[in-house]
């Protein structure tokens, strides 16, 4: 596709429910990232996938958060037992070739706004 | 722990004026990015700065990098209303994990 796409654009859920957020990266991009943007914490790195390597999960805030990337393309971020502090905009990004100058710019999707009531 | 600090956080200026946004970071990195975010929108890549002394320009925006001072600047020349947005700098921590500054909300008044 032309850019990174994410769905849904908005998600309202009740505390304690599980949610799944989807990201479709730019075709051909090998790396995929999830970030979270909230008023209190700004933009935070969550998780990074590169090719077939094990993901870098160092930014996940708790074990309620998990993500997978199937077939090296689409990714799903799952939040279990949502809490009100999980409310934020979840942004996905992809890059063509991390570490390669000129090819490693991260392009961001429109985000999913998650509201936990 | 890498920290990235921008200043100012809020900037209101008149059209036609010049101003500079500063981005300081705490540890060595070889990549610095500038992004723009419009209200309710995602992040748009503006510049990638890869080496000490790098300077890039696009229209009325110019970005520079001083890796020794751990400082990047985003200079706005003869501002126009369309440049109103929030601007973020981001530093590559490792393996492409970006650490973002707090953002500078720029408002340009006619």
- Provide the b/e sequence for B7-39 (b: ≥16 CB within 10 Å): eeeebebeeeeebebebbbeeebebbbbbbbee
Question: Residues 15 to 44 of B: which have CB under 8 A from any A CB?
Answer: 31, 33, 35, 41-44
- Provide the pLDDT for residue A76: 97
B31–A43 C-beta distance less than 8 A: no
First to last CA, chain A: 33
Is 70 exceeded by the pLDDT of residue A116? yes
Instruction: Determine how β-strand B4-7 pairs with β-strand A31-38.
Output: unpaired
Q: What is the mean pLDDT of residues B91-106?
A: 88
Task: Tell me which DSSP letter residue A56 carries.
Answer: B
The mean pLDDT value of chain A amounts to 92
Contacts A45 to B, Cβ<8 Å: 93, 97-99
Hey, which residues 77-96 in chain B have their CB within 8 Å of chain A?
88, 90, 93, 95-96
Peptide bond just before B12 cis, omega within 30 deg: no
Which has the minimum average pLDDT: A37-41, B46-50, B57-61? A37-41
Pairing of strands B71-76, B85-94: unpaired
């Amino acid at each position: 596709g032309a850019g990174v796409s994410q769905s849904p654009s908005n998600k309202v859920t009740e505390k304690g429910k599980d949610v799944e957020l989807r990201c479709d990266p730019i075709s051909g991009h090998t790396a995929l990232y999830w970030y979270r943007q909230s008023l209190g914490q700004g933009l935070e790195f969550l998780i990074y996938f590169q090719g077939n390597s094990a993901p870098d999960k160092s930014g996940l805030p708790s074990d309620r958060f998990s993500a997978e990337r199937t077939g090296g393309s689409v990714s799903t971020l799952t939040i279990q037992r949502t809490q009100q502090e999980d409310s934020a905009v979840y942004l996905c990004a992809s890059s063509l070739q991390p570490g390669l100058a000129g090819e490693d710019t991260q392009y961001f999707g429109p985000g999913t706004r998650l509201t936990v009531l | 722990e890498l920290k990235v600090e921008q200043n100012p956080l809020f900037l209101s200026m008149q059209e036609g004026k010049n101003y500079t946004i500063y981005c300081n970071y705490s540890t060595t990195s070889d990549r610095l990015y500038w992004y723009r975010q419009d209200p309710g929108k995602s992040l748009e890549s503006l510049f990638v700065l890869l080496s000490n002394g790098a300077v890039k320009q696009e229209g009325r925006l110019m970005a520079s990098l001083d890796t020794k001072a751990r400082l990047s600047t985003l200079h706005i020349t003869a501002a126009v209303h369309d440049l109103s947005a929030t601007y973020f700098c981001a530093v590559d921590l490792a393996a492409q994990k970006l650490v973002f500054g707090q953002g500078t909300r720029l408002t340009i008044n006619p």
